[in-house]
Structure 1
Amino acid sequence: MLDVVIGGGGYVGLSLALALKQSEPDMKVALVDLRPRSAIENDPRASAIAAAASRMLDQLGVWHQLQDDAQPINDMIVTDSKLHDSVRPVYLTFDGEVEEGEPFAHMVPNNRMVGALHDEAVREGVTIIAPESIDDFSTDAASVTIRLRSGEMLHSRLLVAADGVRSKLRGLAGIPVNRWDYKQSGIVTTVAHERPHNGRAEEHFLPSGPFAILPLTGNRSSIVWTEKPLEAQRLVNGDEFTFEIELERRFGRHLGELSLDGPRAAFPLSLTLARSFIGNRFVLAGDAAHGIHPIAGQGLNYGFKDVAALAEVLVDAHRLGLDIGAAHILERYQTWRRFDTYRMGVTTDMLNRLFSNDFDVVRGVRDFGLGLVERMPFMKKMFIGEAAGTTGTTPKLLIGNPI
């Protein structure tokens, strides 16, 4: 009998497995992942890792493996303009430190982060079953019976779904979702530029949606570019020259000549919120529980918050000799995470609606609001704390403490 089976081998599934195994080595933890180990290395994206998440990764023993590839975000500027405007006024600026010497975020390549988590989980004794998938499962009062695609059966006290925003396991559990299609796509790619970025992140609010320039190591930046789906597909599938022309119109020339430094991809954007985060011996974590707009760059970090909270709840119960799959144990996790997640989902939804339009009256109101925030240091400090993941009731791992 296993203690926990995790479906999904991304950053959420791997960090949860690692956190449980490091905290309680006698726990029997297995992770089922559809992808082979080699697929992890082919992810071209990079993510903003908030200060709280980097503390957790440090506690899990992987941050030191990422530091050579981690680019601190030293400051951030926010502009709001039309695409053809020759000048983009800066309405809001943020300094990048939560504490002295600690940036509020780092940019880290996804393949390096997930690869480091995978290797550390293997070293700690997590059983990784890949490439494999969960075909079905059933629960009773004492356990979960899990059927793999190969026909193998697993028996566990708890099943955790960490298999992404289109979670198959969530569907098998019969948990409904509230979903809103933004009719937008997020284009992601990496660009090289002539001049150094000096660790500055930029968010330009344009009529089609936010255009984010996020610093990477060297003279490179990660781009997250919001467009209407048809336009996004045209840009991603078209020739490189056209793409670079359209990119430069949005990026500008302040960092000199631009060139693509990685593949282009487009992902549909939507708001997806599970109506419950738990079921009978079943838990949702990460994007399986909540998929939010990238306008605030918090999707990945909210997944790490789920991991830290769920690991703490399960480890506490295990140490007390309690049934980690019992409803009242899982309810503690849901109470901890659900409201916070819904709040961020609503916030990102409102921000996207407010900034993804070209109405002059709305533009005037929002620019006035940005200007007010710029003149209120306590408000800016609050926003930095939110971006760093240090607000609210913070799980131990996100403070940098062991469970």
Structure 2
Amino acid sequence: MKSQSLPQGFAWGAVKAGIKASGNTDVAIAVATQGANGAAMFTRNQVVAAPVTVGRRHMATTGGRVSVVLVNAGNANCATGQPGIDACVQTCVAAAESFHCIFDEVFPSSTGIIGVPFPAEKVIAALPALQSALGDTPEHADSFAQAIMTTDTKQKVARAAIDVDGVEVRIFGVAKGAGMIHPQLGAPVGPAHATMLVYLFTDIAADSEQLRNLLEPAVERSFNSISIDGDTSTNDTVLLLASGASGVKLDARTQEAFANALKLVCGSLAYQIVDDGEGVGHVVTLHITGARTDAEAKQVAKSIAHSPLCKTAWSSGDPNWGRLMAAAGYSGVLFDPALVTIAIGKQPVFELGVRSPAFQESAAHAEMMARDYTITLDLGLGDAECRFLTCDLTEEYVRINADYST
């Protein structure tokens, strides 16, 4: 069930600190007024930003306890060396003093250009204004969502709720991301993307281990199953916080309903990220069926999703099924082409080793001119499957990223 109400126990705010060249709001804060338990997943890129290093450390030190989420946009604080780490810590210490918690309970995030010295002084100078900007209304939450945007063209938010004996337990999710999107998120202690940030707030009562057990499968089916350009960023973060303010406990009775609501929010945010991808004209769902395992199905989907030849064909609605077969063929998954069938939307294009006798190029092209459509590829091997969300590659994407840092 959807709800327009926000979870209890949180407040949000955002201000202009002068980090974004546009002059828009660029520092956002979320405060758990009585503290919150949390679980986080971070990028698996070996090159990680300072806030990922610090945030991972803080989550380990506090056992997942978080009081303040501090986010800046316009500077990724990545590839900035020890000075970047020190600057991140300085902002956490200052935020802890301003919002009355220990500095390990401050969870930092950054997004923006990589390799530029981090202006900690601008973030610190903005903290008094953030204190004044803080509130728990939808407008305050929207200001948070707006401030964390970089090349995004629209805010990305989602809400859901479950009813437990007349008490509404709420989930509110906020995300940013439009390019450099191919999340490969893992545990905070695992091998450690500047561009996808996701914050999930709920007022259910749960400990960090319970939250992690629900977050990982929700992320695997949503954020780990999307790609805009195949580039895994250095800052990718998903954080789930539970304030407990509803008084409802996460237990055997409430877990299934809450898990479904969490998956709904994550799925909505993941779709919004791809739909707002840089230069995106078409959102393509790759439905890989008939695989031996879910992992092999996703492996084939990723191979197709990351093929420049496939992605450019999608931009013009060119039903070039040969490119789909070629990408599946070099995915590393063993299969017999004579068992494969492919459909674009409702149009069969490839059947059992050859072009489908029902293939109509004009009809397939018409399917591909829709904003959203599905390509189904059945490997003919088993019962496993996956759905992977991706998009086309356009001249607009090239223009945006050719000029991003200049």
User: What TM-score do you get using the length of structure 2 for normalisation?
Assistant: 0.24
